């Protein structure tokens, strides 16, 4: 029963948030307290003074990594909101000539993965949360933003995959390809789920479109990893999915603005001429001019208004057609207007995010060119300012404000980040205590002698637990990757490493630190809607159960055919 005691801190945390509905920071502190009691009470769980110091240093660096991104990131979000950049991006996405579920799929499978793969640490939430809040009610938008965080194995230019490869002595391309194959069904699942949350009228069509976007992302990831281009694979795959979505927008707009007029001597039913309106029209209405002549008005799915024809006589609709039942001739097309939504993002958006991404690119190039990158290391964790996205985030905010610090925005950022950072600190400490005291190892040992199918089912579960506890794909791999290699049957080390990488990465979206960051970015909108940590956690755990089913199926296949 020692293994049951080992997971007790996690059970207490989940119970406090999902059952007692307590705030995340109190749950984290309680979890730490339970872990400390177990270490004092049970001789099986021990932490040496040296290990305690090393763990404390590692925990501090992990918190510093997060704070270095959260503080300047939320400050930049305040600046962008004050300067209207978020509004411009929101309006651009809303004006795209696509149905709402298709727009959501474009954000979840294209824009969010592209930004997160380049930056990591949840920076993409600064983009996706304001956009999704403009497309859906807060309760729906924040859930969709969570689903957009599933690119984590390739987040921060594939950092977690690179670290996982170094821990297992595998070529990074090999682990990246295995991870892409293992994750292949996850991206269609979460994208389709995000589309269904919007409650589309044509659910099947929305699911197919969204799943296709997710499959495009999966195919791009597999292609680039097979080619050995692992670090920018998420950026390139997200960019390709976004480009495909914009191409679909162009096609959709072209179809939705087409009008086909057929002159005929008689209708098949009434002997009247017909006007065939393109099948993409969502509504046909009728207006009358000052002389009482009727006019057919069609409205496209993008919301544009097209006054199609004027026909003397009585009007009626027949299927997708507008039919004149009295007059004999079509007078002609009077007016036809297009949707004004452009496919290129507004200049303010390109400048703002270009500053961030350009700054990160400059730092990456400088690092690749051999520029010194001083870093602090402790217990397997490290912090290097020049490789953290925090510096470009802060630089972009200052450049947008011409070098001045906006005090009101800075105070607001500190207020919004305080609780999430406090909760994050608690969970990092909990994760380190469980790892350094042997609790995580005890859980693994309980599974090690089980039959191979049981081990296969446990592998993705352990990976997901590690990502949930640490709130980091990198942290999860550091905690669990050696254990996964011990559990792997002979010849399946690569696949179990991929299961760990996928499990930890795909559980981060539902980790409490990530949920707290989402709530911090959404600000008052979440509080006004009554959305709390436990609300999002419950949703995240439901999605995580579905992801686990996919990863467990992949693990069983690996064991059966490996």
pLDDT band for position 380 (cuts 50, 70, 90): low
DSSP for 276-338 reads EEPTT--EEEEEE-TT--EEEEEE-TTS-EEEEEE-SS-EEEETTEEEESS-SS--EE-----
Considering only CA atoms, which of 184, 178, 172, 181 is closest in space to residue 231? 172
- Residue 385 sits at the vertex; the CA angle it makes with 381 and 389, to the nearest 5 degrees, is 95
Which is more confidently placed, 455 or 377?
Answer: 455
- Render pLDDT for 409-442 as a digit per residue (tens, 0 to 9): 999 888 878 877 887 788 778 878 888 888 878 8
d(CA 465, CA 7): 10
- Render pLDDT for 513-528 as a digit per residue (tens, 0 to 9): 788 888 888 888 888 8
pLDDT value at 257 more than 60: no
d(CA 240, CA 262): 39
* C-beta separation of 196 from 188 below 8 A: no
* C-beta separation of 284 from 297 below 8 A: yes
What's residue 341's pLDDT? 54
What's residue 324's pLDDT? 43
pLDDT value at 457 more than 70: yes
How would you list the strands of the sheet with 305-310, edge to edge? 283-288, 294-299, 305-310, 332-333
pLDDT band for position 313 (cuts 50, 70, 90): very low
Q: Which residues contact 53 (CB under 8 A, 6 or more apart)?
A: none
What's residue 550's pLDDT? 95
* C-beta separation of 78 from 130 below 8 A: no
Site of tokens 């992949």? 554
Which is more confidently placed, 350 or 24?
Answer: 350
DSSP for 158-211 reads HHHHHHHHHHHT--HHHHHHHHHHHTTTHHHHHHHHHHHHT--SSHHHHHHHHH
* C-beta separation of 305 from 282 below 8 A: no
What's residue 331's pLDDT? 37
- Render pLDDT for 136-146 as a digit per residue (tens, 0 to 9): 899 999 999 99
What does the DSSP 8-state code read for residue 402?
T
Residues 531, 535, 537, 541: is their CA dihedral positive or negative?
Answer: negative
Site of tokens 């007029």? 261
The H helix count followed by the E strand count for the chain is: 24, 10
Domain boundaries, the chain: 2-251+343-561, 259-333
């Amino acid at each position: 029963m020692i293994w049951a005691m080992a997971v007790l801190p996690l059970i207490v945390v989940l119970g406090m948030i999902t059952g007692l509905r307590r705030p995340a920071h109190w749950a984290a502190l309680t979890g730490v307290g339970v872990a400390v009691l177990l270490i004092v009470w049970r001789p099986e769980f021990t932490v040496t003074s040296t290990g305690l110091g090393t763990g404390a240093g590692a925990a501090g660096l992990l918190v510093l990594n997060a704070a270095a991104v959260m503080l300047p990131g939320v400050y930049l979000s305040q600046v962008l909101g004050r300067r209207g950049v978020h509004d411009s991006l929101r309006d651009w996405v809303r004006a795209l000539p696509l149905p709402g579920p298709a727009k959501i799929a474009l954000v979840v499978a294209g824009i969010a993965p592209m930004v997160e793969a380049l930056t990591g640490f949840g920076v993409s939430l600064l983009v996706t949360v304001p956009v999704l809040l403009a497309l859906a009610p807060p309760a729906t938008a924040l859930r969709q933003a969570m689903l957009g965080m599933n690119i984590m194995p390739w987040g921060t230019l594939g950092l977690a995959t690179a670290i996982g490869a170094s821990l297992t002595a595998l070529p990074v391309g090999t682990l990246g390809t295995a991870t892409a194959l293992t994750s292949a069904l996850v991206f269609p699942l979460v994208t389709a789920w995000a589309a269904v949350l919007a409650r589309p009228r044509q659910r099947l069509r929305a699911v197919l479109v969204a799943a296709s976007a997710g499959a495009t992302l999966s195919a791009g990831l597999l292609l680039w990893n097979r080619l050995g281009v692992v670090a920018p694979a998420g950026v390139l795959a997200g960019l390709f999915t976004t480009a495909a979505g914009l191409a679909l927008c162009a096609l959709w707009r072209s179809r939705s603005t087409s009008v086909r007029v057929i002159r005929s001597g008689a209708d098949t039913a009434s002997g009247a001429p017909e006007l065939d309106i393109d099948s993409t029209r969502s509504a046909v209405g009728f207006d009358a001019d000052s002389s009482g002549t009727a006019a057919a008005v069609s409205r496209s799915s993008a919301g544009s208004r097209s006054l199609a024809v004027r026909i003397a006589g009585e009007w009626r609709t027949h299927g997708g057609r507008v039919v004149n039942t009295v007059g004999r001739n079509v007078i002609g097309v009077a007016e036809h207007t297009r949707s004004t939504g452009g496919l290129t993002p507004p200049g303010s958006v390109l400048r703002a995010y270009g500053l961030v991404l350009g700054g990160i690119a400059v730092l990456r190039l400088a690092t690749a060119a051999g520029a010194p990158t001083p870093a602090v290391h402790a217990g397997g964790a490290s912090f290097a300012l020049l490789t953290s996205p925090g510096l470009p985030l802060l630089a972009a905010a200052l450049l947008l404000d011409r070098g001045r610090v906006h005090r009101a925005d800075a105070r607001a950022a500190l207020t919004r980040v305080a609780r999430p950072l406090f909760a994050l600190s608690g969970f990092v400490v909990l994760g380190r205590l469980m790892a350094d005291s042997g609790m995580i190892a005890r859980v693994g040992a309980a599974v090690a002698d089980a039959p191979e199918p049981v081990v296969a089912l446990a592998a993705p579960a352990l990976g997901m637990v590690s990502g949930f506890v640490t709130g980091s794909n990198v942290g999860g791999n550091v905690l669990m990757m050696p254990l996964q290699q011990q559990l792997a049957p002979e010849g399946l080390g690569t696949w179990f490493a991929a299961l760990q990488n996928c499990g930890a990465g795909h559980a981060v979206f539902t980790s409490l630190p990530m949920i707290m960051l989402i709530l911090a970015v959404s600000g008052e909108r979440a509080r006004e809607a009554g959305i709390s940590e436990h609300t999002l956690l419950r949703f995240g755990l439901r999605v995580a159960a579905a992801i686990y089913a996919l990863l467990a199926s992949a693990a069983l296949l690996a064991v059966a055919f490996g």
